[in-house]
Amino acid sequence: MSDQKTILRALAGETLPTPPIWMMRQAGRYLPEYRATRAQAGDFLSLCYNSELAAEVTLQPIRRYGFDAAILFADILLLPQALGADLWFVTGEGPRLSTITTQGDFDKLTSIDDIDETLNPIYETVRILSRELPSETTLIGFAGAPWTVATYMIAGKGTKDQGPAHALKAENRPLFEALIDKLTDATILYLSKQIEAGAEVVKIFDSWAGSLEGADFIKYALEPAMKITQVLKHKHPGVPVIAFPREAGEGYIGFAKATGADCVALDNSVSAEWAAQNVQKDGCVQGNLASSHMVTGGQALVDETRAIVKAFSGGPHIFNLGHGITPDADPDNVQRMIDAVREPALA
């Protein structure tokens, strides 16, 4: 397997002497070159839908740092926009969407067969990247998980506790489940098209999975991930899937086996030692340095990076943060983290 890209080797279950590394939101506002390109695009959504510029910002951290993977630059809320939801971004506050709270709202959504009209520029970005990335760099496509995307569609924005989605789930379960089902089917189509365009791995981001408990976690986090993964693997044999049920806690245990995912990404609310014992035994894990280290830096960054690499050294591991890098991060700290992974004796 030595001729394969390192991330693909880890995803296939190989334990490597140095874990491959990439970083969630590695193309983003902490980089001056990203800010310049976004200004050129005009606004965030224009950047997402400009295939050439979206490819450019995807490539920027690869040129600067030499990560082992590039993740497509896009946003999880492009899918609801493709389904007919209104989407806009408020400066300093984040995304806003038209809400889905009644059957009438749901009925206004478009057929999943029509989403490509909106999403074709995203597939073109993938095609550009598959041509322009260095031969050793893996291209990762992604989508938001149905539950997480639904929380935004129901509330019309991000919320701390996903309260509106939980309320709809309690008050109108048939409507809530119809939305989850529609998003599940649309996500399968969206990720399948990314793979056809050149994505070598896909990742399912369930950023708010941790707010689901018990049977709800199984039904609305695990089961949609399982369906998405199984259909994609049937359509595209050999393409790995990374699942990220963030803040799942004990729910991380057995998640890979239950869903068929090739890797479980971990947030930093669980320790690497715990995850090595309870999650990595089933296969590849990804994570899980606290993103705050990218702001604070110092010896603590180096020490924690080394500790995570050591904790996961007994099995397949992809080094990453436990959540996306924040806009206030210092680019020099990213390099220090990479050095601590690749050349720990020198960092």
The pLDDT confidence band at residue 4, using thresholds 50, 70 and 90, is confident
Residue whose tokens read 């210092």 = 330
Catalytic residue among 75, 105, 185, 330: 75
* Cα separation values, 159 from 10, 92, 99, 152, Å: 35, 15, 13, 8
Cα separation of 35 and 27, whole Å?
10
Q: Mean per-residue pLDDT for 182-192?
A: 98
Q: What percentage of residues in the chain have a pLDDT greater than 90?
A: 96
**Which DSSP helix (H) or strand (E) runs through 19?**
none
Pairing of strands 94-97, 87-90: antiparallel
Cβ neighbour number for residue 88 with a 10 Å cutoff:
12
pLDDT of residue 92: 82
The first and second tokens of residue 70, run together, are: 């590039």
Residue 29 among the catalytic residues: yes
Residue 38 among the catalytic residues: yes
Q: Is pLDDT above 70 for 347?
A: no
Provide the mean pLDDT of the chain: 97
Strand order across the beta sheet in which 241-245 lies: 69-71, 138-144, 201-206, 241-245, 263-265, 284-289, 317-321
Q: Which domains does the chain have, with CATH numbers?
A: 1-21+266-347 (no CATH), 27-61 (no CATH), 72-265 (3.20.20.210)
The pLDDT confidence band at residue 1, using thresholds 50, 70 and 90, is very low
The first and second tokens of residue 67, run together, are: 């990560």
Residue 65 among the catalytic residues: no
pLDDT tens column, 149-169 = 999 999 999 999 999 999 999
Residue 75 among the catalytic residues: yes
Cα separation of 224 and 210, whole Å?
15
Residue 73 · residue 60 · CB < 8 Å: no
Q: Is the dihedral of CA 214, 207, 71, 61 positive or negative?
A: negative
Catalytic residue among 49, 123, 152, 190: 152
Q: What is the DSSP string of 197-255?
A: HT-SEEEEEETTGGG--HHHHIIIIIHHHHHHHHHHHHHSTT--EEEEETT-GGGGTTH
Cα separation of 197 and 221, whole Å?
27
pLDDT of residue 187: 98
Cβ neighbour number for residue 87 with a 10 Å cutoff:
18
pLDDT tens column, 284-316 = 999 999 999 999 999 999 999 999 999 999 999
Q: Mean per-residue pLDDT for 183-202?
A: 98
Q: Mean per-residue pLDDT for 248-273?
A: 98
Residue 246 among the catalytic residues: no
157: nearest Cα among 212, 99, 76, 83:
99
